[in-house]
Amino acid sequence: MRLFSLFAGLLTMIVSSCQQPDKKTATAPTDSTQTVNIIHPGPQCFTQIMGKDTAYLEFETDNEVVTGQLEYKPFEKDKNKGTISGTIMDNIIEVDYHYMSEGIMSVRKAIFKLNDDNIFEAKATKQDKDGQPLFDQDYSKLQFDSIPFVKGNCR
């Protein structure tokens, strides 16, 4: 009888391990480093200080649409200031930056990652023939500045 109970238990384990998981209870793996942020209505303002250089980012969102202003003030160099417009999805803000620098109007792409009350700017992997930054299309491979834009009061 004891041998029969052992055999029945072993058979039950084998059968249960061969069954497909119930699709209703299966969950997709999650990235534990992913932070879900909620963008509150109204202007969101961030400042980055890198040595004597400063940058200022202000934006608002309407669903996934982002609009705002971006300004870079490098120490003892010409500043550039302009507007941003683009999208935000999964804490990644991708915008076109229209700015004036040295009297010339220019446009370039910029990507930022929102993480709590900080925003990190993506570093371009290379530049195209016109000097425009190129970013990896796989956002998980993007490299970001180590010094963030920190959320603060709007000016």
Hey, where are the domains in the chain?
44-152
The model carries a pTM of: 0.73
Gyration radius of the chain's alpha carbons: 25
User: How does the average pLDDT of the chain come out, rounded?
Assistant: 80
Can you list the alpha helix ranges (DSSP code H) found in the chain? 2-18
Residue type, 42: G
pLDDT tens-digit map of 55-105:
999 999 988 899 999 999 999 888 899 999 999 998 999 999 999 888 889
Helix (H) or strand (E) holding 113: strand 104-115
pLDDT above 90 for 107: yes
- Residue 66 parent element (H or E): strand 65-73
CB under 8 Å to 72, separation ≥6 — which residues? 53, 54, 55, 79, 80, 81
Reported as half-sphere exposure (CB side, CA atoms, 13 A), residue 127 has a value of 5
Nearest to 95 by CA among 68, 123, 132: 68
Q: Give the Cα separation of 45 and 52 in Å (integer).
A: 20
